[in-house]
Amino acid sequence: MSSISIGEEKDFEIGKGYTFNLYGEDILVYRGQKSFFAIQNECSHAKFPLEDGILNEEKCSITCIHHGAKFDLESGKVLSLPALKGIKIYKIYIVNNEVYVDVI
Ligand code: FES
């Protein structure tokens, strides 16, 4: 497991998605009102990117705009069809205002 710094906390706008390719993994990072989320940037349904998805921080979910699959941002589990398989999530945390993601 490698922890990678992806920038300072202040570099991330609330409610906006940022994409990173870390060790060959496409990762989507969102800064919500209260926390950061880091998820696989690929919907498990038809492999479209999730970066245009609709974030609902209150319900801790992201909805893919392509066919409407919904995923839990903390567990990666499917909350709504047509996806049948969850997505990968990554641990994300802040140390001294620096944002880190754990990537295998
Ligand atoms: S590609 Fe996301 S719901 Fe189909």
Residues 60-81: tens digit of each pLDDT: 999 999 999 999 999 999 999 9
Assess if residue 72 is contained within a domain. yes
Pocket lining: 45 vs ligand 1, CB cutoff 6 Å = yes
Assess if residue 31 is contained within a domain. yes
Tell me the pTM: 0.92
Assess if residue 33 is contained within a domain. yes
Write the burial class of residue 82 (CB in 10 Å: 0-12 exposed, 13-18 middle, 19+ buried): middle
The minimum-distance atom of ligand 1 relative to the CA of 67 is 3
List of residues 6+ apart from 62 with CB closer than 8 A: 30, 39, 50, 53, 54, 55, 56, 70, 71, 73
Assess if residue 101 is contained within a domain. no
Residue range of the domain that includes 44: 2-92
Assess if residue 32 is contained within a domain. yes
Pocket lining: 64 vs ligand 1, CB cutoff 6 Å = yes
Assess if residue 100 is contained within a domain. no
Question: CATH number, domain at 65?
Answer: 2.102.10.10
* Residue type (1 letter), 99: V
pLDDT tens-digit map of 2-33: 999 999 999 999 988 999 999 999 999 999 88
Q: How many domains does the chain have?
A: 1
The minimum-distance atom of ligand 1 relative to the CA of 48 is 1
Assess if residue 82 is contained within a domain. yes
Assess if residue 8 is contained within a domain. yes
Pocket lining: 66 vs ligand 1, CB cutoff 6 Å = yes
Q: Quote the ligand 1 centre to 40 CA distance (angstroms).
A: 13
Q: Quote the ligand 1 centre to 45 CA distance (angstroms).
A: 5
| pLDDT bracket for residue 83 (50, 70, 90) | very high
